[in-house]
Structure 1
Amino acid sequence: MTATQTNPAASRTQGQDLVIENLAAGYGKVQVLWDVSLRVAPGEFVAMIGANGAGKTTTLRAVSGVVKPSAGRITLGGRDITRATPSQIVGLGLGHVPEGRELFPLMTVRENLELGAAMRPEARAVQAQTLTHVYELFPRLSERAGQLAGTLSGGEQQMVAVGRALMSRPSVLVVDEPSLGLSPLMTQTVFGALKAVNEQGVTVLLVEQNVGLSLKLAHRAYVLENGQVVKEGSGAELLADPGVREAYLAL
């Protein structure tokens, strides 16, 4: 069964909204974000694009509690998570697919996936059902379930990273550079799964270097430059924007 064939009724999720207001953050004395504000509505697919160093990854890390903001506010489903810990934020329904995947290479595919359910009691209660759903999205992971994650191809590892986040039964999924280092075919597979997950109700905030593909999928998008939002609009509007096309699509 492919990602687009997965039965939405088997895992329908009620998406929450994610709101970032006037966010400032960085690393030590180095400030990366200045006054970033954006909103992802329940069930929406939103892309965040920008050059390397624009602050996209830092924004996602602040959302998931890995980086603590120096100013501003972040809410998830109306609940303030600005100062919450990563485990608390996962417990409230946010899943994070980090840049670089961050798998445990000496653990099997299945063990890596099962870790995703560990921090949410409601996810542990339906772990078997969710694992079946992940295998439906990515049939190759079912075939590789007993294989060490470190021996997988880059594309297979990205599937595990996405699947692990989904194992927590998130209502909001933030995804950082999922196509990095992947072949065009594997990129289409991973993006097809993200589209399917969104169609099943999960709110998605995507950071992605493949600007053309992400804008085609996204309902709306934001452009970050030097730690600030400089443009926003529908995916179609930004695809047609001359500045975006020149800066990010080489057109």
Structure 2
Amino acid sequence: MTDTLNRTAPAANDVGQELRIEGLAAGYGKVQVLWDVSLHAAPGEFVAVIGANGAGKTTTLRAVSGVVKPSAGRITLGGVDITRAEPSRVVALGLGHVPEGRELFPHMTVRENLDLGAAMSAAARARAAETLGEVYALFPRLQERAGQLAGTLSGGEQQMVAVGRALMACPSVLVVDEPSLGLSPLMTQTVFEALKAVNAQGVTVVLVEQNVNLSLKLAHRAYVLENGQVVKEGTGAALLADPAVREAYLAL
């Protein structure tokens, strides 16, 4: 990754939808994790959400995809209220979620895992063959491994499957949780370049990632979460140059 990835405006296209979160509060049982979180990603924008472990980043994405039900606030996707929608409804409206830890079906093949990504939407099923070709073009190794059990793949290959599965749903907004977790630097670069390419095609991308340096270089804009609250926001380039961000997350 080079500094040429720094960007300050979204791609000019109409493929992606807007994702907007307003005053979000959420947690697990009696344990509250998020307090009044507000952020948005404009159509075609690449937004990074950074912060330490336990800051609430994963919970934010789970609330967006319907896995966690908010206790307060509002979430809209392309102007449609999805605050307490079921995950299947959220996927049908255009959201793709690449979860932390990949969550593949290890005893199913690569191809079977990918096919599952298109199963939740009639529109995605209708163009599944075309989308599969696009996924294979993005990750040629998956075509080579199509008949291999997902559980026997390397960590990087599994991450490719997780991203590919989400893309099979033909999302207009893709949320991605810690894609570099456990990956080598080379495989991390491969996955990040794929996300950059997806965004260049017009898909709105929201990335949660511990690799702050790469995230901020790739993002048009970014948010910093601390203790379940947004404490900073700005362009990726501005936050990368922010002394407080550099000291806290880049050890500089």
Tell me the residue number matched to 2:175. Answer: 174
Aligned partners of 1:39, 1:106: CA distance in 2, in Å? 37
Corresponding residue for residue 228 of structure 2: 227
In structure 2, distance between residues paired with 1:73 and 1:162: 26
Q: Which residue of 2 aligns with 1:32?
A: 33
Structure 2 counterpart of 1:140: 141
1:152 maps to 2:153: yes
3-state DSSP class of the match of 1:46?
A: strand
Question: Post-superposition shift, 1:216?
Answer: 0.1
Measure the CA separation in 1 of the matches of 2:40 and 2:46.
Answer: 11
**In structure 2, what is the equivalent of residue 96 of structure 1?**
97
Letter in 2 for 1:104: F
**8 Å contact from structure 1 (residues 13, 200) kept in 2:** no
> What is the CA distance between 1:83 and its match in structure 2?
1.1
Q: In the alignment, is residue 65 of structure 1 matched against residue 66 of structure 2?
A: yes
Which secondary structure does the structure 2 equivalent of 1:161 belong to?
helix
Aligned pair count reads 240
5+ residue gaps, structure 2, are 1-12
RMSD: 0.7
Calculate percent identity across the aligned residue pairs.
85
Residues 177-216 of structure 1 mapped to structure 2, 5 A cutoff: 177-216=178-217
**SS of equivalent to 1:53:** coil
* Cα deviation code 1:61-117 (max 9, x no counterpart): 000000000000000000000010000000000000000000000000000000000
**Residue 106 of structure 1: SS of its match in structure 2?**
coil
Amino acid of the structure 2 residue aligned with 1:118: A
Q: TM-score, normalised by structure 1?
A: 0.95
Query: In structure 2, the residue corresponding to 1:215 is in which secondary structure?
Result: helix
Q: 3-state SS of the aligned residue for 1:201?
A: coil
| Corresponding position of 1:117 | 118
> 2:14·2:43 contact (CA, 8 Å) conserved in 1?
no
The offset of 1:13, in angstroms, is 6.9
Structure 1 residues 209-237: Cα deviation after superposition (integer angstroms, max 9, x where no partner): 00000000000000000000000000000
Within 1, Cα distance between the matches of 2:118 and 2:138?
17
| TM superposition shift of 1:14 | 1.0
Q: Letter of the aligned partner of 1:122 in structure 2?
A: A
Name the aligned partner's letter for residue 136 of structure 1.
Answer: A
2-side partners of 1:167 and 1:138: how far apart? 13
In the alignment, which residue of structure 2 is the partner of 1:241? 242
Structure 2 distance, partners of 1:205, 1:222, is 10
Q: Which runs of 4+ in 1 moved over 6 A?
A: none
Distance 1:86 1:119 in 2: 10
Q: Is 1:163 aligned to residue 164 of structure 2?
A: yes
TM-score with structure 2 setting the length: 0.95
Structure 1 residue 106 corresponds to structure 2 residue 107:
yes
Deviation of 1:31 after TM superposition, in Å, equals 0.1
Preserved CA contact (<8 Å) 1:106 1:149: yes
